[in-house]
Amino acid sequence: MGYDNYALAQPPRHVPWLVRSQVLFGGFASQFGWLFFGFGLIFVWIFGLNADFGGILFSVGEVGSAEGVVLQVEATGASVNERPVYAYTYTFRVESQEREYQGVSYSTGRQYEPGWPVTVEYLSSRPDFSRILGTRQAAFGPWVLCLVLLFPLIGLVFMLGGFVGGLKGNRLLAQGKVTVGELTSKEPTNTSINNQPVYKLTFAFRADDGGIYEVVSKTHLPQLLEDEVEEQLLYDPRNPANAVMLDNLPGSPDIDEMGYIHVTDLKRGLLPLVLPGLTVLVHGTVFLTVIL
């Protein structure tokens, strides 16, 4: 959409909260980030909560050992490198306490059978925290958490990038000076969105201080920034290098013929909030249910 060189009011301008939310969350980077972050957290809950970090406590704490017996062997349904993971329920006795304990250990591939004797190691201060020697306390090793955390971390990087860009856009919408820029270069990047190449467009503009500055916009919809001979932009008079093209603001806020910033379509205004809202609701509920 273009703004046809509408004359925005002099700053400071009123920017409705719904427009601010569009700019914060409506850009591709933000939406992609929330999608990748939310989808990646599913695997964190599934696999990360079944990762074994007990080895850390065994390496730093005082460890005792006792003889035990395997009571039951079950296939967990999980696998590592196409090898099934098995769970072993076992019992052992701590003679110093004259008390028996029971635990569950895991291994990749079947190592024990019911009735087999095993050596059990436990924390001397907490005998209920134990494992069969050579096994682990969860279905997966600690490495799996590092693997599954990669996806939400990638999403988080995109989210933060979109959020920073949104903050900049909102600040310039409220306080920025309006001028026009001339397209000086257009280059394809190595990125594509929906099978459309992303272009890097560079615009030059003259600020109030008389200097010539450039603003770079990357978009897979370059036609939005090529429908006018000169395209409107906003820049910070105190730092003219801090600028943004109006037609490339995240969420594409509406500016009417009088130059007022507003929301003309409530559905479109709320749409950028759906993905962040669902992500927070779903994973917040899981966190409260599983962790707390």
Among 121, 138, 155, where does a domain finish? 138
Asked if residue 9 is part of any domain, the answer here is no
Closest among 225, 257, 244, 261 to 177, alpha carbons compared: 244
CATH of the domain at 115: 2.40.50
Tell which phi-psi region holds residue 102, choosing left (phi > 0), alpha (psi between -120 and 50) or beta: beta
Angle in degrees, 0-180, between the axes of helices 28-47 and 266-286, rounded to the nearest 10 = 20
Confidence of residue 7 (pLDDT cuts 50, 70, 90): low
57-108 pLDDT, tens digit per residue, is 898 989 999 999 999 999 999 998 899 999 999 999 999 899 999 999 999 9
Q: What is the pLDDT of residues 11-39, one digit of tens each?
A: 888 888 888 888 899 888 899 999 999 99
Q: Calculate mean pLDDT across residues 232-241.
A: 92
Per the domain annotation, does 50 fall within a domain? no
Compute the distance between CA of residue 277 and CA of residue 285 in angstroms, rounded to an integer.
12
Strands (E), 35-82: 63-80
Residues 73 and 182 in one domain: no
Q: Please check whether residues 170 and 276 belong to one and the same domain.
A: yes
Domain membership of residue 153 (yes or no) is: no
Same domain, residue pair 127 and 171: no
Strands 212-219 and 196-206 come out as: antiparallel
Whether residues 179 and 263 fall in one domain: yes
> Span 35-60, mean pLDDT?
90
Q: Do the beta carbons of residue 199 and residue 187 sit within 8 Å? A: yes
Q: Give me the number of domains the chain comprises.
A: 2
Top-confidence residue, 180 or 258 = 180
Residue 270 sits in the same domain as residue 177: yes
Average pLDDT, whole number, for the chain? 88
Contact between 102 and 130 under an 8 Å Cβ cutoff? The reply is no
Q: Examine the pLDDT at 238 and tell me if it is beyond 80.
A: yes
32 in any annotated domain: no
Residues 115 and 193 in one domain: no
Domain boundary among 97, 119, 138: 138
* 3-state percent helix, strand, coil for the chain, nearest multiple of 5: 35, 40, 25
User: Do the domain assignments include residue 143?
Assistant: no
What's the domain range around 247?
17-24+165-286
My answer on whether 196 and 260 are in the same domain is yes
Domain ends where: 90, 122, 138? 138
Q: Which residues pair with 239 in a beta bridge?
A: 236
- Domain identity same for 126 and 180: no
Check whether residue 68 and residue 132 sit in a common domain. yes
pLDDT at 3 over 50: no
Same domain, 110 and 191: no
256 and 206 co-located in one domain: yes
Q: CA 184, CA 203: separation in Å to the nearest integer?
A: 6
pTM: 0.77
Q: Are residues 174 and 127 in the same domain?
A: no
Judge residue 223's burial from the number of C-beta atoms within 10 Å of its C-beta, 0-12 exposed, 13-18 middle, 19 or more buried.
Answer: exposed
Instruction: Flag whether 152 is in a domain.
Output: no
Segment 43-52 mean pLDDT: 88
Q: Residue 49 pLDDT more than 90? A: no
Residue at 56 is within a domain: no
Residue 74 CA to residue 42 CA, distance in Å, equals 25
> Is 292 inside a domain boundary?
no
Summarised one tens digit per residue, pLDDT across range 148-187 is 999 999 999 999 999 998 999 999 989 999 899 999 999 9
* All residues at 6 or more sequence positions from 59 whose CB lies less than 8 Å from its CB, including other chains: none
Strand locations in the chain (E): 63-80, 83-94, 99-108, 117-123, 126-132, 177-193, 196-206, 212-219, 231-236, 239-245, 254-255, 261-262
Instruction: Please state, as a whole number, how many other Cβ atoms lie within 10 Å of the Cβ of residue 289.
Output: 8
With a cut of 50, say whether residue 2 has pLDDT above it: no
